[in-house]
Amino acid sequence: MDEYLVQVLSNIGMISFLALSAYILLITGEISFGQQAFFAIGAYASGIATAMWGWGFWPGLVWGAAAAGAAAFLLAWPTLRMRGLFFAIGTLAFAEMVRLIFEIFRYQVEIDGELVGPNGSEGFRGIRYIFEQDISAFHYMLLIYAVLAGVLALLFVIERTRLGAIWRMLGEDELLAETEGVNRTYYKVLATVVAGAVAGIGGALYAHMNTYLEPKIFNVMLGVHSLAYGLIGGLGTAFGPLIGVGIDIGLLESARIFSGYRMIVFGGLVALLLIFRPRGLLDEAAVHALVAWWRNTFSSPAKRSGGSGRPPERPGA
Amino acid sequence: MLEVERVSRSFGGVAALTDVSLEVGAGEVVGLIGPNGSGKSTLLNVITGISPAERGVVRFDGRDVTSLRPDRTAALGLTRTFQTPRVLHRMTVLENLSAALFAGSPKVRRLRKADRERLNGLLEECGLGRRVDELASKLTLPEQRRLELVRTLVSDPKLILLDEPAGGMTPAETEGMARLIAEVAARGRTCIVIEHKIDMISSLCERICVLDFGRVIADGTTREVLEDEAVLDAYLGRRDIA
Amino acid sequence: MIVDFVQNTLDGIFVGSSYSLLAIGFTLIFGVMRRLNLSYGPSIMLGTFAGTLLFVEFEAGLLAVAAATLAGAVLAGVYVERVCFWAIRRGAALASMVSSFAIWMQLEEIVTVVFPDRTYPFPPLADFALEPGPFFVRGDHLVMFACAAAITVLLHLLLYRTRFGLALRAVSRNPAAAAFVGINTGLVLFSAFALASAIGGVAGYLIAAADQQITPFFGLWATFKGLIAMTLGGMGSIPGAIAGGLLLGIIEAHSGWYLGTEYRDLSAYAVLFAFLVFRPGGLFAQRQTLRSQLAARRV
């Protein structure tokens, strides 16, 4: 496979975690400008684990996700009372704080006569686990997609069961959800933690592919992009954000015809979509229509009430 | 079952409820009437905990629920509909019910075949059988009101609060809704019904409570209340009722 | 010691007055529309580049540069209003906010395509300094402070002494009721947006003249400083915008001096976050902000 293509696909895969993270909060009705903070925390935590503590890749990945989830848990409480715009600004302030803390965060140890570890705004060099284990870029790309498939599968299970239905209920009408018996605090905090952990996984994968972390790449632009992906691709299914990532990174950033004009096209596209399809290409109505079409075409009437002929992307229920 | 004791609630200095007391026994169907702005919906909000009482006590099943949040009162078996129907427009009719089932019963993790059949049955009974897989945003107002009524039944509640279940309906639709509520009541459920349509109230309820300017001005059997001078003055006299 | 403290506070107030200027336009849009315009800074940035174009290419005078800056900011603002606010239904506050971010990306890219050199010179306005006693005050900062004060007074007169102001306040309180009594709400919103952009243009001109240079990064900077200052003061409140801007300036000056420059922005965000948690209405909490919180709950 072409090296450039592998890199583009790897990027799409990693950013997808961030887009899914923003998507989880979007379906619960919150707009976060700060998911990049959890991406950064996952990246730093897993990088520290493998490069400085000598951990393996998988423990490092889990540790990165756990650290991001824990940070999200801490953020969830003070932001619980913030609504709408206030939540957006609050998460923005939090993420910028995290980035600025990484700008001054120094923690280095000497390994083989060389200082390794986060060095403030100089960044964090030498996360070389993948390189040392001789894993090729192509194999690492497959690994990214395997993890992504796992997270997607988990999200599809969530969406088909209790948790997903309640998240979407909260996202559409909080008051109704509460009068029907939903404990808002519990489910909002849970959504924030899951979203944080998903972003953390993406960050961990990113750290090991790049081998070098710089605080300034975890800026608000990254966060708002990941938010926009869900709004472009659609909030009806977890495939939506992936479509958004594909359109932006796959089409606009990588296709060289748009070079220099990518943001003009991307910005215009998002603005137009928000006018004509405010919940994205694959919004709930589109997913519903697709499901109905699928069922009419591929499953016999007898199966209908049994639900066995349903495709996996069915939301809620 | 429900005891509301000298409850008061005000909004920015305007008293919406003053010393309101109301008792509802198990199996009763009580009509709650009064002119617009008399505090009927506020009373429902106080009972369910959406805007808790500032003074007074609300007891449900012998338990003090005055300052419980709405999700806690729901867990105790209180459920309601809204004056402007609240349905989840981005979900199908069936998904609306399954969401309510999940919300009301913490033990249900996923929708099993039996659950699905039960929900389908409920929808069938209230005439929404053909709309099961329709997006709720496509429903007409009477259909949305019927969906709300079915939704209250999903988690097997002890007390159902209905806020103008026939609001904005034609006489024929109103009659259909009255029949549905009567069926619900016939199964021994306790209900409080807010409604302006006196015909419907008098056919459904043995007892009526009348609110005016946030105070209870009458509470008694349907016949007594509908002949009460104060009620006629406050409410019936001012409105041309069918 | 005490001299440092006073000098820092002075610096903070004067730098803060530029934040106040940015926050006034920001808060005007929020106050009337109950929506956030993230493209506010980038529109101003586009204006300053229009000004610098005249300066670099045609060696235009101060007035022409100022006029071009203002015109550019208003034009960009009007574009943002049409795409992100007028075209998106009322009440979809979050959709407008994300859309305004998308347009931000566009404006920034347009500027970098037309002006590939990143940094451009901008003509200074008041290149002098005062030294009362041990203290040091820059002339352009004084001008900025005076302009912030003047704009506040003028805006107050406009809002409370004119028919347009009355219509504007009516629309901001209750758009539906305003429409019923015959106010052309669309036109009022449009004018308010244009007015806010013009104020932003003034702010952009003064800040660029003080810095004597301009980069595309200015858009992000202006949006963030304006947003923080507005939130500290209380979204939608004009006195709040002034106070919030000055507070932000003072916090930055002191934290930069006592903790080190790397803590400057960190302290500002920490204070912003603390305000959002403990006092979401800001210094000048308004009752409407609560309502707007409720209004903003749905995408």
> Mean per-residue pLDDT for B190-216?
90
**Partner A contacted by C26 (CB < 8 A):** no
Q: Chain A: residue nearest C294 by CA?
A: A83
Is residue B83 classed as helix, strand or coil in its secondary structure?
Answer: coil
Question: Above 70 in pLDDT, residue B239?
Answer: no
Per-residue tokens: B111? 């929708």
User: In 3D, which of C241, C235, C296, C289 has the Cα closest to residue C30?
Assistant: C235
Task: Report yes or no: A116 and A48 within 8 Å, Cβ to Cβ.
Answer: no
Residue A89 CB: number of other CB atoms within 10 A?
25
Q: Chain B: residue nearest A303 by CA?
A: B113
Q: Which position has the higher pLDDT, A116 or A63? A: A63
Q: pLDDT grade, residue A212 (50/70/90)?
A: very high
Contacts of A315 in chain B (CB under 8 A): 91, 95
Asked whether the beta carbons of residue A86 and residue C296 sit closer than 8 angstroms, the reply is: yes
Q: How far is A156 from chain B (nearest CA, A)?
A: 13
Q: Chain B: residue nearest A157 by CA?
A: B110
Is residue A264 classed as helix, strand or coil in its secondary structure?
Answer: helix
Q: What whole-number distance in Å separates Cα of residue A316 and Cα of residue A28? A: 12
From A120-134, A281-295, B94-108, C283-297, the region with the lowest mean pLDDT: C283-297
Q: How far is C20 from chain A (nearest CA, A)?
A: 18
Angle subtended at Cα C251 by Cα C249 and Cα C257, rounded to the nearest 5 degrees? 100
Give the largest Cα separation in chain B, rounded: 55
Task: Report yes or no: C73 and C43 within 8 Å, Cβ to Cβ.
Answer: yes
Q: What whole-number distance in Å separates Cα of residue C60 and Cα of residue C205? A: 14
Q: Chain C: residue nearest A76 by CA?
A: C277
> Mean per-residue pLDDT for A197-222?
94
Among the partner residues C98, C103, C280, nearest to A86 by beta-carbon distance: C280
Task: Report yes or no: A280 and A273 within 8 Å, Cβ to Cβ.
Answer: yes
Torsion of CA A273, A277, A280, A283, to 10 degrees: -170
Task: Report yes or no: A96 and A32 within 8 Å, Cβ to Cβ.
Answer: no
**Partner A contacted by B44 (CB < 8 A):** no
B 146-175 near A (Cβ less than 8 A): 151, 155
Query: Half-sphere exposure of residue A154, counting CA atoms within 13 Å on the CB side?
Result: 14
Q: pLDDT grade, residue A301 (50/70/90)?
A: low
Whose tokens are 């991406």? That residue is A39
Q: What whole-number distance in Å separates Cα of residue A276 and Cα of residue A96? A: 32
> Mean per-residue pLDDT for B180-201?
90
Q: How far is A52 from chain C (nearest CA, A)?
A: 25
Asked whether the beta carbons of residue A285 and residue B133 sit closer than 8 angstroms, the reply is: no
Per-residue tokens: C147? 């302009």
Domains detected in chain B = 2-86+158-238 (3.40.50.300)
Among the partner residues C105, C113, C263, nearest to A260 by beta-carbon distance: C113
Q: How far is A224 from chain C (nearest CA, A)?
A: 8
Alpha helices by DSSP H, C181-283: 185-211, 218-233, 238-258, 264-278
Q: What whole-number distance in Å separates Cα of residue C282 and Cα of residue C237? A: 9
Question: Above 50 in pLDDT, residue A307?
Answer: no
Q: Chain A: residue nearest C39 by CA?
A: A267
Q: pLDDT grade, residue C285 (50/70/90)?
A: low
Give, in order, the Cα–Cα distances in Å from A192 to each of A182, A257, B70.
16, 38, 22
DSSP letters for A287-304: HHHHHHHHHHHHS-HHHH
Q: What is the pLDDT of residue A251?
A: 79
Task: Give residue-wise pLDDT tens across range A234-248.
Answer: 999 999 999 999 988
Asked whether the beta carbons of residue A181 and residue B155 sit closer than 8 angstroms, the reply is: yes
Question: Above 50 in pLDDT, residue B242?
Answer: no
Question: Above 90 in pLDDT, residue B44?
Answer: yes
User: In 3D, which of A239, A265, A73 has the Cα closest to residue A148?
Assistant: A239
Task: Report yes or no: A188 and A195 within 8 Å, Cβ to Cβ.
Answer: no
User: In 3D, which of B3, B36, B29 has the Cα closest to residue B214?
Assistant: B36
User: In 3D, which of A250, A192, A199, A164 has the Cα closest to residue A75?
Assistant: A192
Question: Above 60 in pLDDT, residue C137?
Answer: yes
Q: What is the pLDDT of residue B164?
A: 92
Whose tokens are 């809620």? That residue is A316
Asked whether the beta carbons of residue B102 and residue A305 sit closer than 8 angstroms, the reply is: no
**Partner B contacted by A292 (CB < 8 A):** yes
Instruction: Locate the domains of chain C by residue range.
Output: 2-125+137-295
User: In 3D, which of B148, B141, B99, B103 has the Cα closest to residue B123?
Assistant: B148
Per-residue tokens: A22? 């923003």
**Partner B contacted by A85 (CB < 8 A):** no
Question: Above 90 in pLDDT, residue C90?
Answer: no
β-sheet bridge partners, residue B161: B80, B192
Asked whether the beta carbons of residue A96 and residue C97 sit closer than 8 angstroms, the reply is: no
Q: What is the pLDDT of residue C136?
A: 80
Task: Report yes or no: B204 and B178 within 8 Å, Cβ to Cβ.
Answer: yes
Q: Which position has the higher pLDDT, A317 or C178? A: C178
Per-residue tokens: B147? 């969906």
Contacts of A271 in chain C (CB under 8 A): 83-84, 99, 102-103, 106
Q: Which position has the higher pLDDT, A24 or A283? A: A24
**Phi, psi at B135, each rounded to 5°:** -65, 140
Q: What is the pLDDT of residue A215?
A: 93
The identity of residue A126, as a single letter, is: G
Among the partner residues A168, A175, A279, nearest to B91 by beta-carbon distance: A168
**Partner A contacted by C99 (CB < 8 A):** yes
Asked whether the beta carbons of residue A96 and residue C270 sit closer than 8 angstroms, the reply is: no
Q: Considering Cα of B132, then B134, then B137, then B141, what sign does the dihedral take? A: negative
Q: Chain A: residue nearest B95 by CA?
A: A317
Residue A195 CB: number of other CB atoms within 10 A?
27
Among the partner residues A169, A306, A317, nearest to B103 by beta-carbon distance: A169
Q: pLDDT grade, residue A309 (50/70/90)?
A: very low
Task: Give residue-wise pLDDT tens across range C109-135.
Answer: 899 888 888 888 888 887 777 877 778
**Partner A contacted by C81 (CB < 8 A):** no
Q: Chain A: residue nearest C114 by CA?
A: A260
Q: What whole-number distance in Å separates Cα of residue C179 and Cα of residue C200? A: 28
**Partner A contacted by C20 (CB < 8 A):** no
**Phi, psi at C32, each rounded to 5°:** -85, -40
Summary mean pLDDT of chain B: 89
In eight-state DSSP terms, residue A216 is G
Q: pLDDT grade, residue B180 (50/70/90)?
A: very high
DSSP letters for C198-222: HHHHHHHHHHHHHHTEE-TTHHHHH
Q: Chain B: residue nearest A176 by CA?
A: B86
User: In 3D, which of B177, B148, B2 has the Cα closest to residue B77?
Assistant: B2
Burial class (CB in 10 A: 0-12, 13-18, 19+), C162: exposed
Instruction: Locate the domains of chain A by residue range.
Output: 3-220
Angle subtended at Cα B103 by Cα B147 and Cα B75, rounded to the nearest 5 degrees? 105
Q: What is the pLDDT of residue A314?
A: 42
Q: What whole-number distance in Å separates Cα of residue A63 and Cα of residue A57? A: 10
The identity of residue B102, as a single letter, is: F
From A174-183, C35-44, C123-132, C286-295, the region with the lowest mean pLDDT: C286-295
Q: How far is A77 from chain B (nearest CA, A)?
A: 18
Question: Above 90 in pLDDT, residue C296?
Answer: no
Asked whether the beta carbons of residue A97 and residue C101 sit closer than 8 angstroms, the reply is: no
Q: Chain B: residue nearest A235 by CA?
A: B90
Asked whether the beta carbons of residue B116 and residue A307 sit closer than 8 angstroms, the reply is: yes
Q: What is the pLDDT of residue A124?
A: 92
Angle subtended at Cα C246 by Cα C243 and Cα C250, rounded to the nearest 5 degrees? 135
**Phi, psi at B55, each rounded to 5°:** -135, 155
Question: Above 80 in pLDDT, residue C5?
Answer: yes
Is the complex ipTM more than 0.95? no
Task: Give residue-wise pLDDT tens across range C188-237.
Answer: 989 999 999 999 999 999 999 888 899 998 999 999 999 999 999 988 88
Q: Considering Cα of A148, then A151, then A153, then A159, what sign does the dihedral take? A: negative
**Partner A contacted by C36 (CB < 8 A):** yes
Task: Give residue-wise pLDDT tens across range A80-117.
Answer: 888 888 999 999 999 999 999 999 999 988 888 888 88
Q: How far is A181 from chain B (nearest CA, A)?
A: 4
Asked whether the beta carbons of residue A284 and residue B94 sit closer than 8 angstroms, the reply is: no
Interface A:C, Cβ pairs < 8 A: 132
DSSP H or E stretch at residue C93:
helix C93-114
CATH 1.10.3470 is held by the domain C2-125+137-295: yes
Task: Give residue-wise pLDDT tens across range B124-147.
Answer: 988 888 888 889 999 999 999 999
- Can you list the pairs that C267-274 forms with residues at least 24 positions away whose Cβ atoms lie under 8 Å? C268/C228, C269/A93, C269/A94, C269/A96, C269/A97, C269/A100, C269/C228, C270/A97, C271/C232, C272/A89, C272/A93, C272/C228, C272/C231, C272/C232, C273/A78, C273/A90, C273/A93, C273/A94, C273/A97
Rg (CA), chain C: 19
Asked whether the beta carbons of residue A180 and residue B74 sit closer than 8 angstroms, the reply is: yes
Whose tokens are 């998903």? That residue is A198
Q: pLDDT grade, residue C299 (50/70/90)?
A: very low
**Partner A contacted by C279 (CB < 8 A):** no
* % of chain B beyond a pLDDT of 90: 58
User: In 3D, which of B73, B9, B85 has the Cα closest to residue B42?
Assistant: B9
Q: What is the pLDDT of residue B103?
A: 92
